[in-house]
Amino acid sequence: MSEWSVAEPDALTFEEPVTALQVRIVGGTVNVVGTEESSARLEVTEIEGPPLRVTHRGGTLTVAYEDLPWRGFLKGKWLDPDGWRRHAVVSLAVPAGTRVEVGAVSAAAVVSGVGGRTEVRGVSGDTTLVRLTGPVSADTVSGAVEAQALAGDLRFRSVSGDLTVVEAGSCVRADSVSGSMIVDIDDSGRPTDIGLNSVSGEIAIRLPGPADAQVEANTASGTVSSAFEDLRVNGQWGAKRITGRLGAGNGRLKATTVSGSIALLRRPASEGAPTDKKVL
């Protein structure tokens, strides 16, 4: 095992294979990008507080504070702002197939161009995910997650953080208490597999036309709207539902809220194409 302690701005290059990356920081920013290079590179441009411990063992590169374990990351003292008196700006370039785990407390996280499994856990910082081809898992307390051009499955869980996905892959699973969800599905032709749940957050889903899914959307007290004339919008007072089949119904779309609104949107088939919309 190789080990370094980084207490000031520095850059390190790792020629030995890197197949997994683990990053855990408090304050600042972590940026991870996948490359076609076989080596990995770390650059720390800003650091305040205790040093970062960097280890490379058995193909796993770890950049973290010693007192910030991955297990129980979203619990304990890191939910208390008094424990956040640290700051680091960390950038990493790793082989595109690397499996990535990022934990960020009051820090922004950006992961792009990675093909391995990506897992992000955040307390209050925002997360940006771009051009990821492997499965993605994102857990936040209050930080927002923005994602674009995801080819793999996405699993999102949050208390109050918002989710925005542009050009999502075929499978999205999301659960939130009060965060809003905006999900735009790509037009790859794969069957849609969407499951979104929220207590009070708003949900908006944009589907390509023609879409292919069995649809069930429910809200106990919010409003619903649909841009698809083939779907039924039911309910006058209280609970409302959108149900029906789009295309052959090979995919699945299910959205549920207690008090939030639900909107099903459609990309126009061509510029200026008419859109029928039902609102209740």
- Give the model confidence (pLDDT) of 123-175 as tens digits: 888 999 999 999 999 999 999 999 999 999 999 999 999 999 998 877 999 99
Per-residue pLDDT at 274: 42
Report the percent of the chain where pLDDT is more than 70: 91
Show which of 85, 111, 137 is a domain's final residue: 111
Per-residue pLDDT at 45: 98
Residue 82 has pLDDT above 80, yes or no: no
- Enter the pTM of the model: 0.89
Per-residue pLDDT at 113: 98
**In a shared domain, residues 81 and 157:** no
Please state which of the ranges 76-85, 122-131, 165-174, 226-235 shows the lowest mean pLDDT: 76-85
**In a shared domain, residues 98 and 160:** no
Show which of 111, 140, 167 is a domain's final residue: 111
Classify residue 127: in a domain, yes or no.
Answer: no
Classify residue 124: in a domain, yes or no.
Answer: no
Per-residue pLDDT at 188: 72
Please state which of the ranges 8-17, 40-49, 202-211 shows the lowest mean pLDDT: 202-211
Per-residue pLDDT at 273: 41
Distance of CA 223 to the CA centre of its chain: 26
Classify residue 146: in a domain, yes or no.
Answer: no
Classify residue 129: in a domain, yes or no.
Answer: no
Question: How many structural domains does the chain have?
Answer: 2
Which pairs from 272-279 meet CB under 8 Å and 24+ separation?
275/227, 276/227, 276/228, 276/229, 277/225, 277/226, 277/227, 278/225, 278/226, 278/229, 278/231, 278/233, 279/223, 279/224, 279/225, 279/226, 279/233
Per-residue pLDDT at 76: 56
pLDDT digits (tens, 9 = 90+) for 31-48: 999 999 999 999 999 999
Average pLDDT over residues 105-116: 95
**In a shared domain, residues 97 and 176:** no
Show which of 111, 143, 169 is a domain's final residue: 111
**In a shared domain, residues 96 and 179:** no
Average pLDDT over residues 74-88: 65
Distance of CA 54 to the CA centre of its chain: 26
**In a shared domain, residues 97 and 161:** no
DSSP states of 198-248 as a string?
A: ESS--EEEEE-SS--EEEEEEESSS-EEES-TTSEEE-SSS-EEEEEEETT
Classify residue 164: in a domain, yes or no.
Answer: yes
**In a shared domain, residues 191 and 270:** yes
**In a shared domain, residues 171 and 222:** yes
Per-residue pLDDT at 278: 44
Classify residue 177: in a domain, yes or no.
Answer: yes
Domain that residue 22 falls in: 1-111
Residue 189 has pLDDT above 80, yes or no: no
**In a shared domain, residues 10 and 107:** yes
Classify residue 147: in a domain, yes or no.
Answer: no
Classify residue 256: in a domain, yes or no.
Answer: yes
Split at pLDDT 50, 70, 90, the class of 271 is very low
Higher pLDDT, 192 or 110: 110
Per-residue pLDDT at 246: 92
**In a shared domain, residues 4 and 104:** yes
**In a shared domain, residues 256 and 206:** yes
**In a shared domain, residues 205 and 276:** yes
